[in-house]
């Protein structure tokens, strides 16, 4: 009988994978509940939680249930929530005027959460798409064929100040208008809200994965299509250098945190942004990413728990300090 074949190796990397304890000791990237920001959808009235069909396990919540959810998240160690309103369509118009109503839904929701759960950090979206009848993130020009940059930024500044006044900790302009971070910073400071931070959606791509979110906030129905193109203001998915330029500009204009959105298909951009800034980097695991994992798991093609964890691990490994994810609550419970 011939002798067993044996390699003469000094380096055997598998030595450190041999047992569970060795693997734990040498693990390089670790997820914590504190890494997550939970996006939550709020509706008016006293309706029971309504599940969003394209986002299993995600619900539109009335303000009372939103408060309960924030309390539960904080108890699990999730430190922050990002709030998004779903408005009655009758409140929408081409100018998004409801966004500047002092008693609009999102401001009432912020005040309620801050009163009941003051320890939780609240982010609010600064963009007009939940408020406009056409579904765009700003007001349209005279030809109705593009978003008017500067007039939109003027409205966003007013929105940000109103949100800060309601008690928001971090305003998050997601509109991708030129110059809006600097303008919002100046507006907040002028109004006395120097402590209110800005999470800039610095590299937000014109992705095909936003459909379920547009269902959730009703901007798809407003526009009459889930496939609304925002190519004149959101980034071309093909452009890496342009994304880095946007992040550099936002940092220079006063952003406190830089965000990449979507996360999973843009891990290279997360890494690029991580390498050009010392600011915290956030990444948004968006609705389409969440939905596709759930859909494949329901068909029995993927293990939900393993793929959920792996997808978030990849985002953090790429360089994200903070992750907005619809998996926040269940991941925090699992961890």
Report the catalytic residues: 204, 261
φ, ψ dihedrals at 219, nearest 5°: -75, -25
2 Cβ neighbours under 8 A, 6+ residues apart? none
Quote the distance between the C-alpha of residue 146 and its chain's center.
24
Separation between Cα atoms, residue 192 and residue 242, nearest integer Å: 33
271, 319 in Cβ contact below 8 A? yes
202, 277 in Cβ contact below 8 A? no
Neighbours of 222 (CB within 10 A): 21
Separation between Cα atoms, residue 123 and residue 131, nearest integer Å: 18
With tokens 């419970």, the residue in question is 333
With tokens 């924030």, the residue in question is 70
DSSP 224: T
Separation between Cα atoms, residue 214 and residue 57, nearest integer Å: 16
Separation between Cα atoms, residue 233 and residue 178, nearest integer Å: 8
1 Cβ neighbours under 8 A, 6+ residues apart? none
Per-residue tokens: 327: 């998996």
135, 219 in Cβ contact below 8 A? yes
- Which of 100, 83, 82, 81 lies closest to 91, judged by CA? 100
Per-residue tokens: 110: 């912020």
């Amino acid at each position: 009988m011939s002798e067993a074949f044996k390699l003469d190796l000094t380096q055997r990397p598998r030595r450190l994978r041999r047992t569970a304890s060795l693997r734990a000791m040498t693990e390089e990237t670790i997820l914590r509940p504190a890494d997550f920001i939970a996006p939550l959808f709020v509706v008016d009235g006293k309706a029971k939680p309504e599940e969003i069909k394209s986002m299993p396990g995600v619900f539109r919540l009335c303000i009372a249930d939103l408060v309960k959810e924030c309390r539960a998240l904080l108890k699990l160690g999730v430190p922050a929530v990002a709030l998004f309103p779903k408005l009655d369509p009758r409140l929408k118009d081409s100018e998004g005027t409801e966004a500047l109503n002092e008693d609009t839904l999102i401001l009432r929701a912020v005040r309620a959460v801050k009163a009941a759960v003051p320890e939780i950090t609240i982010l609010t979206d600064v963009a007009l798409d939940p408020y406009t009848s056409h579904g765009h993130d700003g007001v349209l020009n005279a030809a109705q064929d593009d978003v008017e940059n500067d007039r939109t930024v003027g409205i966003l500044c007013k929105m940000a100040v109103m949100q800060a006044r309601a008690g928001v900790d971090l305003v998050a302009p997601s509109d991708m208008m030129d110059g809006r971070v600097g303008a919002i910073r100046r507006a907040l400071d002028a109004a006395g809200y120097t402590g209110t931070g800005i999470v800039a959606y610095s590299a937000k791509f014109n992705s095909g994965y936003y459909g379920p979110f547009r269902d959730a906030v009703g901007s798809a129905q407003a526009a009459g299509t889930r496939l609304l193109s925002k190519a004149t203001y959101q980034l071309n998915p093909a452009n890496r250098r342009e994304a880095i330029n946007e992040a550099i500009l936002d940092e220079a204009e006063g952003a406190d945190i830089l965000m990449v959105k979507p996360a999973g298909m843009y891990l290279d951009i997360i890494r690029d942004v991580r390498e050009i800034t010392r600011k915290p980097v956030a990444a948004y695991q968006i609705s389409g990413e969440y939905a596709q994992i759930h859909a494949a798991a329901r068909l029995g093609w993927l293990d939900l728990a393993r793929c959920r964890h792996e997808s978030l691990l990849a985002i953090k490994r790429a360089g994200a300090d903070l992750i907005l994810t619809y998996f926040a609550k269940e991941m925090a419970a699992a961890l």
